Amino acid sequence: MLIVVALGGNALLRRGEPMTAENQRANIKRAASALAELIGEGHSVVVTHGNGPQVGLLALQAAANPGDGAFPLDVLGAESAGMIGYVIEQELGNLLKRRLFATLLTQVTVDPHDPAFVHPTKPIGPVYDEATAHRLANERGWQIAPDGDKWRRVVPSPKPLVILEASVISFLVERGVIVICTGGGGVPVIARDDGSFCGVEAVIDKDLASSLLARELKADMLLMLTDVDAVYADYGTAAARALRSVSPKELSGRTFPAGSMGPKVSAAIEFIEATGKSAAIGKLDNALEIVRGQRGTWFEASALFPQKPWATGTTPRT
């Protein structure tokens, strides 16, 4: 199968960890091992990844030296995508020495009138306690929001519309290249009246961009890997339960956190409703078992695809 694998920012940098180069490389090495298992099973993969912690750190570093001029978020997003893609490519190459790799900076168009520019929801940067977050928001003009029991800066996250490099990615995939792209959801750009493009201050949600990419590549599956084992109904309550196999209809009326699981669920639904194929969400370490149907949450358009991928093999774990 051709699988678009989206690595969550929290899968690359665990919650509460310092954002050091050593920690990020250690986590990317773990991610590379999971990806190598998928490739070893004969799957073709296109790798996307988050950048929320990293782009936020770059923004903080830029703000610490105001005399040098602050770089806009689109430029910082490109910088973080190159940084993370480089390490992913290197660690995968260390495991799969006879394969070809390419890390590609990816521009993604957005609507300049998207309501997300008025209502920021995308968390970036480190987490803070509530008092510190409010102090920094007042000092720096940030907008902030809760993230679990902590707080983070939030920025606009407009809907991705077109991936400008999709044809280049497809060209490489057809020739057996493992492509790392759409880092951090891609670099957000808008089209001018003359047909040229320019960057815009935003961070695109990586999962929604990955869903768009999977559709444009005609992928067989969208796999979103994070630091939780499944999507949970009533998460954070005594009634919490893991959802193992669901359809969009079954999720009607349910809500999920906008800054974390919500975009993943939306991305899965967009992909399966457009293609009739399957999407899944689960823990990074369980990647191969998720694809085999043994773990994670599977999303299927049941009316179109009633046959479970594990119907002829192993039984899903409950």
pLDDT of 196-239, one tens digit each? 999 998 989 999 999 999 999 999 999 999 888 998 887 778 88
Question: How do the residues of the chain divide into helix, strand and coil, expressed in percent and rounded to 5?
Answer: 40, 25, 35
Phi/psi of residue 98, nearest 5 degrees: -100, 15
Residue 316, helix vs strand vs coil: coil
pLDDT band at 21 (very low <50, low <70, confident <90, very high): confident
Q: How far apart are CA 88 and CA 148, in angstroms?
A: 28
Query: Per-residue pLDDT for 310 more than 90?
Result: no
At residue 151, what are phi and psi to the nearest 5 degrees? -130, 150
Alpha-carbon 119 to chain mean position:
20
Average pLDDT, integer, range 145-171: 93
Residue 65: pLDDT band (50, 70, 90) is low
Q: What is the pTM of this model?
A: 0.85
List active site positions: 9-10, 122, 206, 264
Residues in the chain: 318
Q: Which residues contact 247 (CB under 8 A, 6 or more apart)?
A: 299, 300, 301, 302, 303
At residue 63, the pLDDT reads 64
- The backbone torsions φ and ψ at residue 269, rounded to the nearest 5 degrees and listed phi first, read -65, -45
Task: Give the pLDDT of residue 217.
Answer: 97
Query: How confident is residue 134, by pLDDT bands cut at 50, 70 and 90?
Result: very high
pLDDT, residue 308, reads 45
Q: Which residue has the higher pLDDT, 308 or 183?
A: 183
Q: Which of the listed ranges 44-53, 117-126, 154-163 does the model predict with the highest average pLDDT?
A: 154-163
- Round to whole Å and give the CA distance between 195 and 191: 6
pLDDT over 50 (residue 305): no
- Please give the structure tokens belonging to residue 171: 């060209």
Distance of alpha carbon 32 from alpha carbon 207, whole angstroms: 19
For 260-289, what is the mean pLDDT?
Answer: 92
Mean pLDDT of the chain: 86
Amino acid, single-letter form, for residue 37: E
